[in-house]
Amino acid sequence: MKKKQVILTGDRPTGRLHLGHYVGSLANRVRLQEEATQFVMIADGQALTDNAENPEKVRSHVSEVALDYLSVGIDPEKTTIFIQSLIPQLPELTMYFLNLVTWNRLKHNPTVKQEIVQKGFEDNIPAGFMIYPVSQAADIALFKGELVPVGEDQLPMIEQTNELIRHFHRIYKTQIFPEAKALIPKIARLPGTDGKAKMGKSLGNCIYLSDAPDVVAKAVKGMYTDPNHLKVEDPGTVEGNPVFSYLDAFDLDQAGLAEMKAHYRRGGLGDSLTKKRLLDCLQAFLDPIRQKRAEFAKDPQFVWQMLKEGTERALSVAEKTMAEVRAAMRLNYFS
Ligand code: TRP
């Protein structure tokens, strides 16, 4: 039998998951669980790197994110869903990886640099935050992840992971870890409802997978469009118009969408109609997700038991790899 590819991926539990997460990575995870060995990690440890003072926020979002996973169809029979902080081999491997990266390299990770600005850290960057790409490399390496379905912003993390893996192999003369490959979807990034490139909880420009119908309706109604499209008869611009970016991702009738775009460009198609179409598409997409979420939410014990079992499976994989790591590093004193 052909060996299945291993997928390792995950999310920080600092908020509920939104449409951007779905387009960026959840859709790929749901699809790939059929053919790969998939581990999906709830990265509570990584969430704490910039939320040390908010333990309750992180804790409550562990189950929220688990519900999001279950509701979109990540199936615990096919995918191992686990909690990062319960795998002590992760910080162990992180410690060893930290010796293989320079402080200067850490300072130049573009995603980290961007987040430092966004979060307003200035000169008060938590050291744990600075090194999170190394712990992320350990996440991937420990599970021998080959494919990492993530959003576009995570590319620098995968690059840094592979640098660490190669460095580790060179020094300790081993080949324990496969190289990791990021899996970025065709539509790599969904803009915020305000037209900004990045969706963010703090920006208030996201539509969440668990938002109620009226919340979604309000968000779509308030969506940014082409600011120069003032009268219905005016020609409008499709590019950079988030209503169309969302339709690209969620309208199942792509031929109809092409016609709508042409009509919008010519003039004569109002934003209320494009938004109406988008709202219909989104409600049709979200309805079954909401229903599933409500069912799982009724049974928190099932959700926690699922996480417990997933974490136990993850622990046994982690310990196996770590034994190989310790042997390669000459740390296997009593075995
Ligand atoms: N950095 C990811 C995020 O911001 C979460 C994450 C942690 C992750 N470890 C990972 C993603 C390993 C993929 C692989 O949400």
Q: How far is the CA of 183 from the centre of ligand 1 (A)?
A: 13
Query: How high is the pLDDT of residue 66?
Result: 98
| Closest by CA position to 59, among listed 307, 294, 290 | 307
CA 263 to chain CA mean position, Å: 35
Query: How high is the pLDDT of residue 189?
Result: 86
**Residues above pLDDT 70, as percent of the chain:** 100
Sign of the dihedral through C-alpha 14, 18, 24, 25: positive
Q: Which atom of ligand 1 is nearest to the CA of 12?
A: 15
Query: How high is the pLDDT of residue 1?
Result: 66
Q: Which atom of ligand 1 is nearest to the CA of 153?
A: 4
CA distance 81 to 199: 25
Instruction: Provide the mean pLDDT of the chain.
Output: 96
- List pocket residues of ligand 1, CB cut-off 6 Å: 8-12, 43, 46, 136, 139-140, 148, 150, 154
Helix (H, G, I), strand (E, B) or coil at 183: strand
Q: What is the DSSP string of 73-139?
A: T--TTTEEEEEGGG-THHHHHHHHHHTTS-HHHHHT-HHHHHHHHHTT-TT---HHHHTHHHHHHHH
Helix (H, G, I), strand (E, B) or coil at 192: coil
CA distance 326 to 318: 12
Query: How high is the pLDDT of residue 23?
Result: 95
Query: How high is the pLDDT of residue 200?
Result: 84
User: Residues 224-280: pLDDT tens digits?
Assistant: 999 999 999 999 999 999 999 999 999 999 999 999 999 999 999 999 999 999 999
Q: How far is the CA of 26 from the centre of ligand 1 (A)?
A: 13
CB count in 10 Å sphere of residue 267: 13
- Encode burial over 115-144: b for 16+ CB neighbours within 10 A, e otherwise: bbeeeeeeeebeeebbbbbbbbbbbbbbbb
Pocket probe mutation, ligand 1, options 11, 16, 29, max atoms within 8 Å of Cβ: 11
Q: How far is the CA of 247 from the centre of ligand 1 (A)?
A: 27
CB 225 within 8 A of CB 171: no
Task: Retrieve residue 181's tokens.
Answer: 């490959």
Q: How far is the CA of 149 from the centre of ligand 1 (A)?
A: 10
Q: What phi, psi does 104 have (nearest 5°)?
A: -65, -40
CA distance 236 to 239: 9
Q: Please tell me the residue having the least CA distance from ligand 1 atom 13.
A: 9
Pocket probe mutation, ligand 1, options 29, 139, 144, 159, max atoms within 8 Å of Cβ: 139
pLDDT beyond 70 at 79? yes
Q: Which atom of ligand 1 is nearest to the CA of 43?
A: 7
User: Residues 198-228: pLDDT tens digits?
Assistant: 888 888 999 999 999 999 999 999 999 999 9
Lowest mean pLDDT among 44-58, 68-82, 186-200: 186-200
pLDDT beyond 90 at 151? no
Across the range 110-116, mean pLDDT stands at 95
CA 170 to chain CA mean position, Å: 31
Q: What is the pTM for the complete model shown?
A: 0.96
Q: Where does the pLDDT of residue 3 fall: very low under 50, low under 70, confident under 90, or very high at 90 and above?
A: confident
Amino acid at 56: E
CA angle 141, 147, 150 (to 5 degrees): 100
Q: Please tell me the residue having the least CA distance from ligand 1 atom 3.
A: 11
Q: Where does the pLDDT of residue 188 fall: very low under 50, low under 70, confident under 90, or very high at 90 and above?
A: confident
CA distance 330 to 292: 49
Q: Where does the pLDDT of residue 300 fall: very low under 50, low under 70, confident under 90, or very high at 90 and above?
A: very high
pLDDT beyond 80 at 2? no
Query: How high is the pLDDT of residue 223?
Result: 97
What Rg value do the Cα atoms of the chain yield, rounded? 22
Query: How high is the pLDDT of residue 202?
Result: 83
